[in-house]
């Protein structure tokens, strides 16, 4: 089927979700492989039209829950993309959402008709994406790079228990630059937001490091008192 033979959509709005994960030292993004024209076989952000009876936040949550079975994840609205020609079938304005999830906590579900499969892809090594999804991803990546310095959202990407090296690596990968280990540890520990556990890494070839947890309750309390997180 040619693009021009596709049925025209009326003006419509959709949501698209940029879902970041962090695994094996790489920043990853959850993409689907399209089963249909337009952009058949391309990788694309998971998304869908907004139903008449749901709010846009609900639509974004629905898309993510259908895909991952997760329903309690960090999600925020990112930006709305509405260029006249962004969708070959008609005018579709899409509200992009931005989500951070712990890669290991979910399984990917069987998908709807428009997607063959879903997979985690390394952000550093992506082929061209469908529609304007490359643009949406770039906007999301910038938001992540900016926000991770002023809000402790990085913890959403780590396992519940993590080492200080894992935390540093996360920052290095996302900010795309090396970080001085000593300064990083000093600063991150000075906030008093990490709980040092009486537990170490298991099954590692190097010397097992101490595990930590993020103290979200304390962060929320500090925030109310005007505390600013900044790394």
Of 86, 76, 173, residue with least CA distance to 125: 173
- Binding a copy of itself (rule: CB under 8 A), the pick from 36, 41, 54, 138 is 54
Given a contact cutoff of 8 angstroms between Cβ atoms, the answer to whether 140 and 18 are in contact is: yes
On whether the CB atoms of residues 188 and 231 are closer than 8 A, the answer is yes
Query: According to the binding rule CB under 8 A, does residue 231 interact with a copy of itself?
Result: no
Helix or strand run (H / E) with residue 62: helix 56-68
**Residue 164 vs 174, nearer CB to a copy of itself:** 174
Q: Which two tokens stand for residue 179?
A: 């970080």
Please identify which residue in 6, 9, 56, 173 interacts with a copy of itself, judged by CB under 8 A.
56
221 counts as binding a copy of itself under rule CB under 8 A = no
- Given the complex with a copy of itself, which of 56 and 121 has the nearer CB atom? 56
Q: What is the DSSP letter of 182?
A: H
84 scored as a contact of a copy of itself (CB under 8 A): yes
Of the residues 3, 25, 40, 55, which one makes contact with a copy of itself according to CB under 8 A:
55
Site string for a copy of itself, 4-43 (x = CB under 8 A): ------xxxx------------------------------
Q: Which is nearer to a copy of itself, 77 or 119 (CB)?
A: 77
What does the per-residue mask of binding to a copy of itself show for 85-124, with x meaning CB under 8 A?
Answer: ------x-x-x-----------------------------
CB 106 to a copy of itself: min, Å: 26
CA distance 168 to 34: 35
Residue 198 CA, distance from chain mean position:
30
Dump the DSSP string for 122-176. Answer: ETTS-PPBSTTHHHHHHHHHHHHHHHHHHS--GGGGS-SSB-HHHHHHHHHHHHT
The C-alpha atoms of residue 94 and residue 82 are separated, in whole angstroms, by 6
Q: Is 225 in the site for a copy of itself (CB under 8 A)?
A: no
Please tell me whether residue 183 binds a copy of itself under the rule CB under 8 A: no
* d(C-alpha 99, C-alpha 144), whole Å: 10
Q: Using CB under 8 A, pick the residue from 83, 160, 180, 199 that binds a copy of itself.
A: 83
Q: How far apart are CA 157 and CA 40, in angstroms?
A: 30
Q: How many amino acids of this chain bind a copy of itself (CB under 8 A)?
A: 19
Q: Which residues bind a copy of itself (CB under 8 A)?
A: 10-13, 50, 52-56, 77, 79-80, 82-84, 91, 93, 95
């Amino acid at each position: 089927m040619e693009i021009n033979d596709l049925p025209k959509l009326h003006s419509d709005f959709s949501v698209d979700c940029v879902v970041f994960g962090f695994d094996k030292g790489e920043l990853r993004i959850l993409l689907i492989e399209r089963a249909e024209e337009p952009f058949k076989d391309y990788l694309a952000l998971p998304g869908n039209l907004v139903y008449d009876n749901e709010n846009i936040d609900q639509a974004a949550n629905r898309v993510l829950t259908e895909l991952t079975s997760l329903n309690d994840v960090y999600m925020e609205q990112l930006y709305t993309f509405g260029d006249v020609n962004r969708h070959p079938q008609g005018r579709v304005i899409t509200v992009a959402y931005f989500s951070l999830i712990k890669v290991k906590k979910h399984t990917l579900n069987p998908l709807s008709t428009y997607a063959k499969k879903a997979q985690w892809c390394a952000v550093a090594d992506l082929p061209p994406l469908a529609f304007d999804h490359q643009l949406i991803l770039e906007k999301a990546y910038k938001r992540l790079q900016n926000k991770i310095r002023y809000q402790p959202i990085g913890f959403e990407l780590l396992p519940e228990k993590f080492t200080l090296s894992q935390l540093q690596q996360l920052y290095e990968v996302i900010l795309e630059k090396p970080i001085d280990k000593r300064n990083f540890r000093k600063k991150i520990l000075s906030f008093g937001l990490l709980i040092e556990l009486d537990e170490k890494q298991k099954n590692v070839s190097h010397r097992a490091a101490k595990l930590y947890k993020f103290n979200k309750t304390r962060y929320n309390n500090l925030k109310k008192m005007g505390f600013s997180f900044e790394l």
